[in-house]
Structure 1
Amino acid sequence: MTSMGNGPGTTGAWGRTRLEAEWLELVADVMAEPLGELPVPRLAMQLSRTFDGRACAFSAAAPDGAVTGEIYPLTERLDGHRAEVMEWGRRHAARFHPILVHYRATGRPRIAQVAEVPDEHVDRRLLTAWYAMAGGWGCADQLALPLLSDPTGMRAFIIGRDRPFSEREMDVARSLGRLLCGLDRQVRELAGRTPEPAAAAASRMTPRELSVLALLADGLTAAAIARRLFIGERTVHKHLEHVYAKLRVTDRLSAVVRAQHEGLIPAGRSPVGV
């Protein structure tokens, strides 16, 4: 894989190696189980981390122009504008998002960033209005990594931040785009052919995430979980971040309650602080 970008926390050989190791671990976890569904929350958060993004959305545009999606992490408020961003996406993105306008003009969804959409496809007045509006959200510069198109429309991961993406980052995006399309292709091929292991498949938990969740329910702190599993405390917090996103919760107590309700862990446990 091409070396990772130069955002904060990723500068130098150590940062690139760390990010590459995170992607390798993610792919290994995903491929360890039948791909019944694309692990969108985990992929979105890893993309945001890789490109030093404010957030990463996963959006689907239907042939009739309707756009739906979610923004990750779920706890990102976008300076208080999260609800506004979600509503704008649903009502106006198909006609006024620079990248979607570019896609509609060419008919070829490809990896693209707002800062590089061609003048012949997107009116400069639209771009000026876009930056004036999205600049207040802290994510006017966006990078789209579309998945394989299908008859139901186009789906893409969209990373947002407050500055354009470098040439090196665009190279990384193209490498990751092939990876994402490969995972998506496998999901499509396996859909309807592989039985899901009940609750674990429904919530897209990896075996390691389930282990961390079970220890969390037993009342262990992050440090204690790290010692029990022989991993770093930072890694524990990363797994918990993925767990919260997959369960659509924002704290440890809600995670345990939701997991118990879905049968991921036995009922009757109550976590303490992490």
Structure 2
Amino acid sequence: MSRVTTCHAAWLELVGDLLQAEPGTRGFPHARVADLLVASFGAACCSLNTVDRRWVDRVVGGWPVGYLPMAPPSDFRPDATTHPLIRWYAVTGSAAPQVLGRVPPEVAPAAMAAEWTAFARPHGIARQLALPLWTGAGMAAYVVSRPDDDYGDADTELAALVLPALSALVRQHGVLRDLPDGSGDRARDARLTERELAVLTLLGSGLTAQAIARRLHTSPRTVHKHLEHVYRKLGVRDRLMAVQRARDAGLLPTLPEPPRGGVSAGPAPRIPSPRSGDHLAGR
């Protein structure tokens, strides 16, 4: 069996495991995902990076464990505006995979790219491919790194195939993360899968099937199929009865009290523009 076939089979197994998993059985398997990414792209390591609204880049996980420093040297600025890949995502708002060496100089001038490469090369991460999980007011991405050989078209094409499923699984985990304590046990008692519980949770938030599909990176038809399963397992016939039954059973949080005076929170601020003086500021 070829390496490509083996990797495809492993990705299908991962997706199937997470979609059919019982709720609350484990956290998101970042290490398993990282191992698959390293194998799929012939990389030396994989990291999970987050960038907050203040442009601070943090490595929240690295695999193999111990390969990467989890904090930058004391004399290195943790300023994400100097990282070409992060500049690319902040400026373009793209949700597609990107290779470090393909970031155009209009986004990351040659001097900036050279400065970052000089820092990265001793750590064996001079060549990088990012798979963004979300962008906007901050960002998160898996980054696979190599010391020398750069990523080519075949790598970016494979990343484009993997990313939608990976993003959907991460989004599903994010939906379930803040559910009430014990909801996983109650969902298992109702024989709901994690995917069905995620759909039910978003339904309880007032989202339509089309909106749920966008949130979970799937199709409205698939969402309707999940809802059919949820209705049958809860013994109801429509969305209103399903949400009420789920709240009564402790599967979903109770509705919050409306804010006094009808004042609602405003939209989250966007990532700030690069530092003043950069020619791309003020986008």
The verdict on a shared fold, with TM-score over 0.5 as the criterion, is: yes
Q: CA deviation at 1:109?
A: 4.5
Within 5 Å, give how 1:151-170 maps onto structure 2: 151=137, 153-161=138-146, 162-170=148-156
What TM-score, normalized by structure 1, do the two folds share?
0.59
Farther-moved stretch of structure 1 (46-55 vs 179-188)? 179-188
Q: Tell me, which stretches of 5 or more residues in structure 1 are unaligned?
A: 1-12, 77-81, 198-274
What residue in structure 1 maps to residue 9 of structure 2? 21
For residues 16 and 35 of structure 1, do their structure 2 counterparts lie closer, same or farther at Cα, with a shift above 3 Å needed? farther
Shift of 1:42: 1.3
Q: Residues 96, 14 of structure 1: CA spacing in aligned structure 2 closer, same or farther, 3 A cutoff? A: same
> What CA distance in whole angstroms lies between the structure 2 residues aligned with 1:59 and 1:107?
17
| 1:142 aligned counterpart, secondary structure | strand
Give the structure with higher Rg (CA).
2
User: 1:17 is aligned with what amino acid?
Assistant: T
Cα deviations across residues 14-40 of structure 1 (Å, max 9, x unaligned)?
Answer: 221111111122222222324664321
Percent of aligned pairs with the same amino acid: 27
Change (3 A) 1:38 1:91: farther
Give the aligned length. Answer: 179
The answer on 1:40 being equivalent to 2:46 is: no
Name the structure 2 match of 1:73: 64
2:93 touches 2:135 (CA, 8 Å); kept in 1? no
Q: How does 1:123-202 map to 2 (within 5 A)?
A: 123-149=109-135, 151=137, 153-161=138-146, 162-193=148-179, 195-196=183-184
Unaligned runs of 5+ in 2: 186-283
- What is the Cα deviation at residue 166 of structure 1? 1.3
- Assess if the C-alpha contact under 8 Å between 1:147 and 1:156 holds in 2: yes
CA 1:51 to 1:191, structure 2 compared with 1: closer, same or farther past 3 Å?
same
The separation in 2 between residues aligned to 1:45 and 1:134, in whole angstroms, is 21
More helix by share: 1
Instruction: Give the TM-score taking structure 2 as reference length.
Output: 0.57
Cα distance, 1:143–1:88 mapped onto 2, change above 3 Å: farther
Look up the match of 1:58.
48
Q: Could you tell me how far apart the structure 2 residues matched to 1:150 and 1:190 are?
A: 21
Matches within 5 A, 1:247-266: none
- 2-side partners of 1:27 and 1:57: how far apart? 20
Q: Equivalents in 2 of 1:188, 1:130: separation in Å?
A: 32
Is 2:93–2:136's contact at 8 Å kept on the other side of the alignment?
no
Cα 1:34–1:117 change in 2 (3 A) is: farther
The alpha-carbon distance between structure 1 residues 123 and 147, as it changes in their structure 2 partners (threshold 3 A), is same
Q: Assess, with a 3 A threshold, how the Cα gap between structure 1 residues 88 and 51 changes in structure 2: closer, same or farther.
A: farther
Give the conservation status (yes or no) of the 8 Å contact 1:142–1:160: yes
Superposed CA RMSD in Å reads 2.6
Q: Which residue of 2 aligns with 1:212?
A: none
Q: Please report how far the alpha carbon of residue 91 of structure 1 lies from its aligned counterpart in structure 2 after TM superposition.
A: 4.1
User: Do 1:148 and 1:184's aligned partners in 2 also have CA atoms closer than 8 Å?
Assistant: no
Structure 1 segment 196-215 matched on structure 2, within 5 A = 196=184
The Cα shift of 1:191 comes to: 3.5
Shift in alpha-carbon separation, 1:35–1:54, aligned structure 2, 3 A:
farther
- Contact 1:145–1:156 (Cα < 8 Å) also in 2: yes
Q: CA deviation at 1:75?
A: 3.8
Structure 1 residues 149 and 106: alpha-carbon distance in aligned structure 2, compared to 1, 3 A threshold: closer
How many angstroms apart in 2 are the aligned matches of 1:145 and 1:38?
A: 17
Instruction: Please give the secondary structure, in 2, of the residue aligned with 1:38.
Output: coil
